[in-house]
């Protein structure tokens, strides 16, 4: 029963990581403006902190390149996991 519980938790965490990565990819884009950040930040009363921390377009492009690579490499995760489960690569 412990093995089943750990396998379920493992798969749920992997799907959660994938979901968070997709959400991060969706959220990091150059169309986020000062007005949008101000609306979000005013709810939490942190406008001064968030407004001063807006990234430039070059920073956003660099992060999006990293996120593209991360999502592309994420595809190989279940492929390699399936190979490992079947014993490929054992010496």
Give tens-digit pLDDT for 14-25: 888 888 888 888
Percent pLDDT > 90 in the chain is 0
pTM value is 0.56
Q: What is the mean pLDDT of residues 48-63?
A: 72
* DSSP letter for each residue of the chain: -HHHHHHHHHHHHHHHHHHHHHHHHHH--TT--HHHHHHHHHHHT-HHHHHHTPPPHHHHHHHHHHHHHHHHHHTHHHHHHHHHHTTTT--
């Amino acid at each position: 029963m412990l093995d089943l519980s750990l396998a379920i938790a493992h798969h749920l965490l992997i799907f959660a990581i994938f979901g968070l990565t997709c959400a991060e990819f969706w959220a990091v884009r150059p169309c986020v403006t000062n007005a949008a950040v101000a609306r979000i930040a005013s709810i939490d009363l942190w406008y001064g902190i968030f407004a001063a921390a807006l990234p430039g377009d070059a920073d956003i492009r660099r992060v999006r390149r990293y996120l593209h690579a991360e999502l592309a490499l994420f595809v190989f995760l279940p492929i390699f996991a399936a190979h490992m489960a079947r014993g490929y690569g054992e010496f």
